[in-house]
Amino acid sequence: MDVELLDIYDHYYARQAVVDNAINRRSHELLQVIKKLRGEFNVIRGRERDREEECEGLRVKCEAVMTEFEKSPAVSLSTLDSKVTSLEAEKTRLETVEVSLRKEVEELKQDRLVSFAILYRMYRAYEQVADMKEPFDLSKVKGYRSFYKKDHTQASSDFATATFPWLDEFVADPSASIEVLLSKKPSSLQRPVPLRT
The whole-number average pLDDT for the span 81-88 is 89
The residue among 84, 114, 131 that closes a domain is: 131
Q: What's the mean pLDDT in 110-124?
A: 78
Residue whose C-alpha is closest to residue 186's, from 1, 13, 2: 13
Is 197 contained in some domain?
no
Are 37 and 102 part of one and the same domain? Answer: yes
Assess whether pLDDT exceeds 60 at residue 197: no
| Domain endpoint, select from 131, 149, 182 | 131
| Residue 95: count of CB within 10 angstroms of its CB | 11
Closest CA to 22 of 109, 126, 119, 104: 126
Same-domain check for residues 18 and 82: yes
Provide the mean pLDDT of the chain: 76
pTM of the model: 0.26
Same domain, 98 and 174: no
The answer to whether the CB of 170 falls within 8 A of the CB of 184 is yes
Q: Which residue range forms the structural domain that includes residue 157? A: 137-191
Q: Do 27 and 52 have their domain in common?
A: yes
Binning pLDDT at 50, 70 and 90, where does residue 164 land? low
Q: Is residue 67 part of a domain?
A: yes
Does residue 109 share a domain with residue 150? no
| 189 compared with 133, residue with greater pLDDT | 133
How sure is the predictor about 107, in pLDDT bands with cuts at 50, 70 and 90?
A: confident
52-77 pLDDT, tens digit per residue, is: 999 899 999 989 888 887 776 565 77
